[in-house]
């Protein structure tokens, strides 16, 4: 039985080492909101290799925008890295343009309707023009063809907003989500930050119309609306709010600050004392997961929590951004190799695309915000550290208990006879 004991000890050592590595990742300082993760290039290398291997096509089988998001987020993450580190500019431009070519391709447009206004719907137009504008912000406006495509694209979107009875344009025929129009309006603002202001009236009109159509229960942009008039069909949800909060600071700082405060109050959660995380539905509202949110764990959407990291960075919420980064390094099961880094063992590459886009998030139209003073509960790390301590010690508890028991059994007995009482 000697080999069996040594095997168990080996397993115990491996478990303890893995837990201690996880604890180290959890406690390791995270980059500030004006900094980039040191592993960003490794993450991007993995995403690029995954896309080259067909991961974007596989993601299309998981949800309707899988192919598009895999490529667009890869390109946008490179733009963000390039804006933060001029030394990476040439590589960032090359990779972002490569990604743009894929989202503009026939495959990138095939699930969208060319008959919508703007063509292919506001989801495709908004994200595509945001990437086009990001490339111009990174590489300058010297390429006349790139400039023309961007200017024509945002002009088409502006005309569609002006001619619409609702501020929320259709992404698919008869279907509208406010998050998609938010990205598009941010692209209009990006145009005006790169060139002579042109779309200020359209942006102001959009903000006025949006304020009249907020979710009455939360005072936030709804998740889904009527394509006819923009009235809420489904109230605010973290899946779309985490993206909306990433883009609102690009549009209007005051409105963004108001909405972000509501977002934090309604969706930030510590289920069972563990967190921070983003619940999918507002506080006190039940609901189930779907294709947008993914499966919910204790009401928490993992995808919304990942994207919340980018929202926190762009809104100057350093405490939440660093906490989400720490939790991701623990729970995301990252695997770092010399040339790549992946989460969840690389089983869901589109998830890695969302992670690197969120972890490198920075504004395109304004300067990065100063770190805010919002605090998390002082104790937020303690439940995780308690679990880690238990995990590290668990393999050895039976052995410690056995040694303690044997020591008690082998302790010398008192030779004196027990005292007896005598009656008087």
Rounded CA gap, 52 and 62, in Å? 18
Distance CA 120, CA 104 (A): 11
> What is the distance between the terminal CA atoms of the chain, rounded to a whole angstrom?
60
Of 335, 329, 334, 324, nearest in space to 300 by CA: 324
C-alpha span between 412 and 416 (Å, rounded): 12
3-state class (DSSP) for residue 217:
coil
Supply angle C-alpha 237, 124, 145, rounded to 5.
140
Q: Which of 62, 33, 77, 68 is closest to 352 using CA atoms?
A: 77
Angle between helices 2-27 and 382-393 (to 10 degrees): 160
Dihedral sign for Cα 201, 368, 304, 127, please: positive
pLDDT at 424: 42
Tens of pLDDT along the chain (424 residues) come to: 466 666 666 766 877 887 788 888 888 889 888 888 989 999 999 999 999 999 999 999 988 899 999 999 999 999 999 999 999 999 999 999 999 999 999 999 999 999 999 999 999 999 999 999 999 999 888 889 999 999 999 999 999 999 999 999 999 999 999 999 999 999 999 999 999 999 999 999 999 999 999 999 999 999 999 999 999 999 999 999 999 999 999 999 999 999 999 999 999 999 999 999 999 999 999 999 998 888 999 999 999 999 999 999 999 999 999 999 999 999 999 999 999 999 999 999 999 999 999 999 999 998 877 877 678 998 999 999 999 888 888 776 666 666 666 676 676 665 665 555 444 4
CA 187 vs. chain centroid, Å, equals 20
SS3 277: strand
């Amino acid at each position: 039985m000697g080999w069996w004991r040594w095997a168990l000890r080996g397993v115990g050592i491996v478990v303890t080492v893995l837990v201690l590595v996880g604890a180290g990742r959890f406690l390791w300082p995270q980059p500030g909101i004006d900094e980039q993760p040191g592993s960003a290039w490794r993450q991007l290398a993995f995403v690029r290799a995954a896309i080259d291997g067909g991961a974007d096509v596989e993601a299309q089988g998981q949800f309707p925008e899988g192919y598009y998001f895999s490529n667009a987020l890869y390109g946008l993450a490179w733009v963000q890295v390039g804006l933060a580190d001029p030394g990476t500019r040439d590589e960032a431009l090359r990779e972002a343009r490569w990604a743009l070519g894929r989202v503009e391709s026939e495959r990138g447009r095939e699930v969208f309707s060319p008959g919508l206004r703007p063509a292919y719907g506001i989801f495709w137009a908004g994200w595509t023009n945001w990437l086009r504008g990001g490339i111009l912000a990174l590489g300058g406006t010297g390429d006349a063809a790139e400039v023309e495509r961007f200017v024509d694209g945002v002009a088409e979107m502006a005309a569609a907003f002006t001619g619409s009875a609702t501020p929320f344009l259709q992404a698919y025929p008869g279907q509208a989500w406010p998050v998609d129009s938010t990205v598009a309006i941010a692209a209009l603002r990006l145009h005006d930050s790169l060139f002579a202001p042109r779309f200020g009236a359209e942006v102001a009109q959009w903000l006025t119309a949006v304020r009249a159509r907020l979710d009455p229960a939360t005072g936030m942009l709804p998740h889904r609306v009527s394509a006819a008039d923009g009235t809420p069909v489904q109230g605010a949800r973290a899946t779309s709010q985490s993206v909306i909060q990433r883009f609102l600071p690009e549009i209007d700082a005051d409105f963004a600050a108001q909405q972000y405060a509501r977002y934090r109050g309604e969706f930030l959660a510590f289920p069972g004392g563990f967190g921070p995380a983003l619940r999918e539905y507002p506080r006190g509202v039940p609901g189930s997961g779907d294709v947008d949110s993914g499966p919910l764990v204790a009401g928490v959407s993992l995808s919304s929590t990942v994207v919340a990291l980018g929202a926190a960075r762009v809104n100057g919420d350093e405490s939440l951004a660093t906490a989400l980064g720490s939790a991701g390094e623990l729970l995301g099961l990252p695997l770092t190799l010399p040339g790549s880094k992946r989460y969840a063992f690389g089983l869901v590459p589109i998830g890695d695309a969302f992670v690197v886009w969120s972890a490198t998030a920075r504004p395109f139209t304004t300067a990065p915000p100063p770190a805010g003073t919002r605090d998390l509960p002082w104790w937020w790390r303690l439940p995780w550290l308690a679990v880690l301590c238990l995990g590290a010690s668990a393999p050895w508890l039976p052995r410690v208990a056995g040694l303690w028991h044997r020591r008690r059994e082998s302790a010398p007995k008192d030779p004196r006879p027990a005292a007896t009482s005598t009656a008087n």
